[in-house]
Structure formats: structure tokens, C-alpha cells
Amino acid sequence: MRQAVNVGFISLGCPKNTVDTEEMMGHLAASGNYRIVSQAGEADVLVINTCGFIEAAKRESIETIIEMARHKDSGGRCRALVVTGCLAQRYGDELAREIPEIDVVLGVDAWSSLDGAIDRALRGGSAGASGLAARPAYDLSRRPKRLVSTARHSAYLRIAEGCDYRCRFCIIPQLRGPFRSRPPKDLLVEAAALVEGGARELVLVAQDTAYYGHDLAGGRGATQRGIHDLPSLLRALSELDGLDWLRVLYVYPTRLNARMLEEMAAARKFVPYFDLPVQHGSDRVLKAMGRLGGSREVLSAIRQIRTVFPDACLRASLMVGFPGEGEKEFSELLQFMRTVRFDRVGVFRYSREEGTPAAEMPGQVPEDVKEDRYRRAMALQAGLSKDANKAWVGRKLDVLVDSELAPEPGPVRRLAGRSFREAPEIDGKILLFDIASDQERPVVPGEIVRATVLDAGSYDTFAEVESR
């Protein structure tokens, strides 16, 4: 039996990329021929799962590839460098040509061909740019058992792949194909395995989670237990013993309505956190972007969310600097933010991506103007977020403890966690103070405790453990 090959992974980009990486790690680990290592210096093979969504992500991916290539050039242990993911899918030939240290370039959904490509590379035969299908065809009913890389008490559950929308700034449909819902039976099996492995929180992800199930009717992907849309999936997942929270990311607001929200509320483990890719508050810009609906539809959806879930946490993704956005349209965006008062906002500078309709539009906004608008939007949101966080001072929250912080002199232990209002790896933290008596057991990561909010800033919240 050959000695196991040490493989190190670097995952960049969104949670959906994290799931891709975990599937690749699980596929390799299951064979028994590979050992997954966490330190690049210990790896015989380094695999970089890249992001190619916007310019900043592409730059980070390329910088990471070059950095990891040094482990080969410096005479270290690394013998093969593999690049996969969205950037590889989009620019595979160029990457293979411009960075000769790369041995293998694979596109998205590369798990099934990764081991063969690694073996060829280790034998001295470069795989070059391989596995780069023009339209990736995921077999969503046949996925490897994932090797979860997040904290064991919180895991992502990808419920669909691809996207049917044609937003004029976005390259994702070209990279990942049309929207395909995963079969409900497979989701329930995977979710049960994640919970059995210690997950108390499942975070559902897709390009638009609210769109889940639209392609399951009429025999495509037979449903199970009446699961045909997001609310019915949430209700089924809520029956899992040992699971406490169901969190949903990437919900298009124009897909929501009162009936759907009421049905989501019936899923007893669903937490009222709404991650809304709104993009803008100007109708003119939204139309130019090719978005579904305008500001009126978005505001209507938000009012309905707050009617059904009065304490809902609203997070929005917004974009500044889209072609044709003038000061008037940007002012409309700022007013939109003041009107809605999102709890949290992620602001992105428009990135001119080749192959998208927006790249050829007139009225491209200068980079310095984008930067100025980004700073102004973030400054406004900092105040709004602080107000939203401070509104919880004096109230109690259930907090999922993520980690223990470095100790300080005295009896107080410091921990970091999240309530329903904070998504993992995206939002701020709740910093917990735990003053335990000699008779009380210490709080540990993965535990959910009751805490009283003491103070808050724009990002982090401070609370004291009340009960465990």
C-alpha cells in the first residue's frame, strides 16, 4: 500500500465555494490514499479553490496562487499545484499559460476528477487545463461525503446550484450553469449526517434560496414528504433532532410574499435572519442592472418580513458605481438605506467583468468616484448598524458560542459567539463575559447560552452569560 499523499486546501470566495472545497476534501479522504493537512508547508499537493466573481476576488485568487507556488520554487515539500474553482473555469487556459508552476487546472465541480489529476501530476505529467466544460453539469444527486472545514457546530448546506437570472453585471450563470434544486431526499440525508457530526446550526446557501424547488414539479427530481419549496424544506429540516438553528442566506426579496413568510415562520428552527441581495435603491439603476422588480417591490417585501418577524435581522448586499449611476441615483440609494434601516449591509464596488453586458455599457463610473461612494455608503451604514445593535441593549438573546478568547487576569472568561442576528464568517460577533461560580461548569464552544446584551457598536455586541 502506497504512502498517503498530504494534500492542503485553500478555499477562497463564498460559502458555496467552501462546500465545493469540503466535497473535494471528502472525496480524497474517503479513498484512503490522501491525508488532508492544514499547513501549506506539510503538503505534497496544494489545491487552491478560486473565486472569479469580481476583480478584487480575482486579484486575491491570483495572489494566493503565486504565494502557494513558492512552496514549489523554494525546494519545499510541495510537488504539485492544483487550481480549481470559478477563476479556473473562466480563465483556465490563461492561468496554465501564465503561471507555469501550476500543474493542474480544473473547473468547478472538480471533485470527481481531482484524484486522477493529482496522480498524473505527481508522476510528472501535467494535466494542464482540464475539466473545463463550457457549461458545468453537476450531478446533484451524487455528491461525496463532505469533510467539513467550518466549526463542527455550524455547517453549510447547499440546496441548489447555478442561476437562472441574467443580471447584467454577473458572470455566475456562465460559470455555474442554470439553477438546479438538489433532490429533497439527498438534502435530508446530508443534513442528518451534518447534525450527527455535531452541527447545531445549518446555513442554507444557493444563488437564490427562495427559488428552491421551482424545478422539482412535474417529475423533475421527485419530491419527498411533500418538499417542493423553501418553506417545506425548512419544515422538514426542523424535524431533525439535535439541530437548533436553520439560517438561510441569499434570499431574493422579490421572491418573498406574505404566504411564503408565514410558512417559513411555521418551521420552528428557522431563525429570522434575511440576507437580501438588493443591489440598489434607484429604480433606474435596478432596471439597468436587469434586476427583478424595483424599489417598491423590495420595500413591500421588507414590510412583510417585519410584519411576520418583528425582530428580524435584515442584511443587504448593495452595489455602487454601476454604469450610469450618477449622483442623483447614488443619493436615492442612500435615502433607500435610511428608509429601510438595514441591520447590516455589505457594499460592493461595481466590477467591470468581461463577458457581461454591463462591461459594454456607456457611463462607466471612474474608480475614484466608486471609492468615494463606497466610503459614504459604509459611513452611513455604520451609524445605522450601531443603532440597530444598541436597540438590543438590556434584552436577552440565545448565543451560539464559537470560540474562547485569550484569557485575561481575573475570574471573567471571554468568549465569542453569535445570535440569530449574526451569520458565520459574514457579520460581527457577540463578545461574551462569563462569570461562573465554583459550582457552575464553564461554557464551551458549540454550546448555546442565554445572555443579556450590555452594549453594542457598529459591528460587535457585548453581552453577559445569564444561564447555560
* DSSP per-residue string spanning 358-421: GGG-S-PPPHHHHHHHHHHHHHHHHHHHHHHHHTTTT-EEEEEEEEEPPP-SSS-EEEEEE-TT
Q: What is the mean pLDDT of each run of 10 residues along the chain (468 residues)?
A: 84 92 92 92 93 86 91 82 90 87 86 85 67 54 82 95 93 89 93 96 97 74 71 96 97 93 96 98 98 94 97 98 98 98 97 94 98 98 98 98 85 92 96 77 91 97 90
Compute the distance between CA of residue 291 and CA of residue 311 in angstroms, rounded to an integer.
27
* Full 3-state SS string of 101-136: CCCEECCCCCHHHHHHHHHHHHCCCCCEECCCCCCC
E strands in 139-257 = 154-158, 160-161, 180-181, 201-205, 245-248
Task: Tell how far CA 310 is from the center of its chain.
Answer: 25
Cβ atoms within 10 Å of 462's Cβ, excluding its own = 17
One-letter amino acid for residue 102 of the chain: I
Closest CA to 239 of 228, 222, 227: 227
- Report the SS3 class of residue 263: helix
Q: Is 237 inside a domain boundary? A: yes
Q: Whole-angstrom Cα distance, residue 250 to residue 161?
A: 12
- What CATH number did the domain enclosing 16 receive? 3.40.50.12160
112/243 same-domain check? no
Using CA atoms, how far apart are residues 180 and 280, in angstroms rounded to an integer? 27
The reply to whether 416 and 299 lie within a common domain is no
Domain edge (last residue) among 389, 419, 439: 389
pLDDT for 437 equals 61
**pTM for this predicted structure:** 0.92
Chosen domain end from 389, 408, 427: 389
Closest to 257 measured CA to CA, from 192, 313, 203, 210: 210
Measuring CA to CA, which residue among 93, 87, 20 is closest to residue 59?
Answer: 87
The CA distance from 67 to 61, in Å, is 10
Q: Is residue 427 part of a domain?
A: yes
Give the model's pLDDT for residue 438: 59
What pLDDT was estimated at residue 316?
Answer: 98
Using alpha carbons, select from 330, 284, 337 the residue that is nearest to residue 315: 337
Closest CA to 31 of 142, 131, 147: 147
The reply to whether 146 falls in a domain is no
Tell me the CATH number at 170.
3.80.30.20
Query: Same structural domain for residues 160 and 21?
Result: no
Domain that holds residue 285: 154-389
In a domain, 297, yes or no: yes
Q: What integer pLDDT is reported at residue 174 of this predicted model?
A: 86
Are 358 and 408 found together in one domain?
no
The number of distinct structural domains making up the chain is 3
- The three cell numbers of residue 275 are 440576507
| Cα 232 to chain centroid, rounded | 22
CATH code (residue 449): 2.40.50.140
- Which residue, 372, 389, 406, sits at the end of a domain? 389
**Residue 376 falls within a domain, yes or no?**
yes
Is residue 192 situated within a structural domain?
yes
Q: Same domain, yes or no, for 361 and 407? A: no
Domain co-membership, 329 together with 452: no
Alpha-helical runs (H) found in 2-85: 15-31, 55-73
